[in-house]
Structure 1
Amino acid sequence: MKGGSKVVVEPHRHEGVFIAKGKEDALVTKNMVPGETVYNEKKISVQNEDGTKVEYRVWNPFRSKLASAILGGVDDVWIKPGAKVLYLGAASGTTVSHVSDIVGPTGVVYAVEFSHRSRRDLVNMAKKRTNVIPIIEDARHPAKYYQKFSVLVIHCVLSSALKYTSLRVCVEYAMHGMLLRLHFILSIVLAGNCCHANCIDSTVPAEAVFEGEVKKMVQEQLKPTEQVTLEPFERDHACVVGGYRMPKKQRVAA
């Protein structure tokens, strides 16, 4: 997609995310490091009325389940400018880089990754993105590295872990006093940032799998608030968003 006068960039309803409208519409984020790409994604340069230019990066929903969830209509991802985000299973940093764009210079992304193959790319990306703090540890064992955080308030936990242990990780963070209250975009046993039904039991209908996993979340004191399927970008995937120790709604006096 080329920029210029033929492309109009409009704010998405999720703060920090944008839609580039041209011959084909695309989800984009404002590039925190102009001129640089992370995974050979397309860039769009748009000229403002005052002559200044702003560069955006196309966010490929086939490469990022968070992007596909946004396009799928998820109500709230709890990630916005200035937010503190904990990303479990950050891999080489494809989605992390767009979260970095969204939270901007006043926010921070703590990106946890242990894989030898992925962490090199993640660390190299963080050298240019000052709001990304790579943590080279196993995300399943928060007690080993939670002291590395410089803040006690995390607005959102985003998980790319492939196994049910990501549920326990969120609860353990809270038990350590780091996360007195949080929102999450979590993979249950299902796959990627979100859930892959066929990763559990291919003989069970996806709807039954999702329902069973949500029940497990409730048992862990995690409160799911919405679920969005990720098709056509990911088959049999769903994104589950929710909270932990969320405040009860105040009753309105009659």
Structure 2
Amino acid sequence: MAGSVFQPYVTEAGVHFDGVHKCDIDGKVINTALNYMNIGDRFHANDLVCRITRPGAKVLYIADDTCAIELSHLSDIVGPDGRVYVVGQHEIIKSVDDEFGCLDKRSNISYIDATSYNPLAYKERIGEIDVIISDVDHIYQIESLALNASTIMEEGNFIIFIKAHVAAHLIYLHNGAIVPSIAIYEPDMRKLEEHQFDILHGITLEPYMESYGCIVGSYPS
């Protein structure tokens, strides 16, 4: 990997963010602190983000029990001609439904009760995917992402990889704010490249999410 594409993002001092807000009218769940889809300004690459999540896109979201925070944003972005497929085992989907029941009002969101380690089980149902978003806290997260990409993704399409490092080394200083060292995400980026992903951009999500990073790539490289 030639040089680091990972950059820390630090907001201006004094900016604060609300928690989760629910809306029973349109099924929207908003959390400004956890809105990965609002990354255009952070990447300074709006054209890249628009290519990745666009109206009419088919998105596979490898889910955890907080995925509802992003689902309504994705639903808005892909619009009525797009589709968001949420893959997760039953207890995860049930947890989302119990906490954010308004999401069943979103007609372009489909739930798939399955493990993401067996994409052949749902390949026929969803067909080829434009974007895969992986946001699960698991040791084999990259392997799961690579398996899905090789099974249900067209060449040249995109992945968004969310990674948490709870014990990140806080050594980067910017405008008085300490954020995780960008170096802690380099092993993940190298591992993604070993699985044929081409890393396009990466960024830490400070201060929105402590010790989290987001990597955007294409497949295959």
**CA deviation map 1:118-173 (0-9, x unaligned):** 43544954531111111111223323332321x32x11111111124232223222
| Higher RCO (CA 8 Å, separation ≥ 6 residues) | 2
1:101 corresponds to 2:76: yes
1:171 corresponds to 2:146: yes
Q: How does 1:48-197 map to 2 (within 5 A)?
A: 59-67=30-38, 69-73=39-43, 75=45, 76-77=48-49, 78-89=52-63, 91=65, 93-114=68-89, 116=91, 118-119=93-94, 121-122=96-97, 124-125=101-102, 127-149=104-126, 151-152=127-128, 154-176=129-151, 178-181=152-155, 182-186=157-161, 194-197=162-165
Following the alignment from structure 1 to structure 2, what is the Cα–Cα distance between the partners of residues 161 and 195?
8
1:225 corresponds to 2:214: no
Following the alignment from structure 1 to structure 2, what is the Cα–Cα distance between the partners of residues 113 and 74?
32
Following the alignment from structure 1 to structure 2, what is the Cα–Cα distance between the partners of residues 174 and 242?
11
Tell me how far 1:232 sits from its aligned partner: 1.3
Following the alignment from structure 1 to structure 2, what is the Cα–Cα distance between the partners of residues 135 and 126?
14
In structure 1, the residue matched to 2:25 is 35
Tell me how far 1:229 sits from its aligned partner: 1.6
CA contact (8 A) 1:126 1:134 kept: no
Q: How does 1:2-21 map to 2 (within 5 A)?
A: none
- 3-state SS of paired residue (1:62): helix
CA contact (8 A) 1:74 1:227 kept: no
2:130 partner amino acid: H
- 3-state SS of paired residue (2:124): helix
- Larger Rg belongs to: 1
Tell me how far 1:233 sits from its aligned partner: 0.8
1:159 partner amino acid: S
Tell me how far 1:74 sits from its aligned partner: 5.3
Q: Identify unmatched segments of 5+ residues in structure 2.
A: 1-14, 18-22, 172-179
Q: Report which of the two has the higher share of helix.
A: 2
TM-score (normalizing by structure 1): 0.63
Instruction: Quickly say closer, same or farther: Cα 1:72–1:115, change in 2 above 3 A.
Output: farther
Following the alignment from structure 1 to structure 2, what is the Cα–Cα distance between the partners of residues 198 and 231?
12
Q: Identify unmatched segments of 5+ residues in structure 1.
A: 1-23, 27-32, 40-58, 187-193, 247-254
Tell me how far 1:234 sits from its aligned partner: 1.4
2:203 partner amino acid: V
- RMSD across aligned positions (CA): 3.1
Instruction: Quickly say closer, same or farther: Cα 1:148–1:119, change in 2 above 3 A.
Output: farther
Q: How many residues align?
A: 186
Instruction: Quickly say closer, same or farther: Cα 1:174–1:38, change in 2 above 3 A.
Output: closer
Identity of aligned pairs, percent? Answer: 24
